[in-house]
């Protein structure tokens, strides 16, 4: 009789529903939904691909990009797009104004450092002040260092 009562209890719809959604059943259902969501995302989603590494760049053709090491204002362009150039051919000329001002500024800093070095060396060595012959053309610089 007990077996029949047990079988009758198992036929109850509430018990059947509870057995259908037991712990293992829920895990399978959640995993299935997760894979379904991931599959939909993989189908419609976009990812940017980035790869990094070290290596040597070898051009696939003989065309090369020309770039100046020093920027500036283009004064003259001697070739056009599509022209063939020879080795050591000048393709462009830059306006020398900016470069000349940089050279002048560097030369002035050099002369000022040279005068300062001569003065400081004389002070440290306790010798009479003697400026290099290079500074003879710059009396204002010599005057500034002897004050």
Pairing state of beta strands 74-77 and 92-94?
Answer: antiparallel
Taking the C-alpha atoms of residue 134 and residue 113, their distance in angstroms, rounded to an integer, is: 12
Q: CB-based contacts of 56: which residues, under 8 Å, 6+ apart?
A: none
37, pLDDT greater than 60 = yes
Sorting pLDDT into bands at 50, 70 and 90, what band is 1?
very low
Percent share of the chain, pLDDT over 70: 71
Q: Rounded to two decimals, what is the model's pTM?
A: 0.42
Q: Which long-range contacts (CB under 8 A, 24 or more apart) does 134-139 make?
A: 135/111, 138/111
Query: pLDDT grade, residue 50 (50/70/90)?
Result: low
């Amino acid at each position: 009789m007990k077996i029949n009562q047990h079988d009758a209890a198992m036929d109850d719809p509430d018990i059947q529903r509870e057995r259908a959604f037991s712990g293992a059943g829920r895990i399978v259902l959640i995993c299935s939904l997760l894979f379904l969501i991931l599959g939909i995302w993989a189908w419609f989603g976009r990812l940017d691909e980035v790869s990094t590494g070290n290596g040597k760049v070898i051009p696939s053709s003989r065309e090369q990009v020309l770039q100046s090491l020093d920027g500036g204002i283009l004064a003259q362009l001697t070739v056009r797009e599509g022209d063939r150039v020879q080795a050591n051919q000048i393709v462009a000329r830059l306006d020398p104004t900016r470069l000349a001002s940089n050279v002048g500024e560097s030369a002035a800093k050099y002369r000022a450092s040279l005068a300062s070095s001569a003065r400081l060396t004389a002070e440290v060595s306790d010798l009479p002040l003697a400026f290099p012959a290079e500074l003879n053309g710059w009396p204002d610089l010599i005057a500034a260092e002897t004050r």
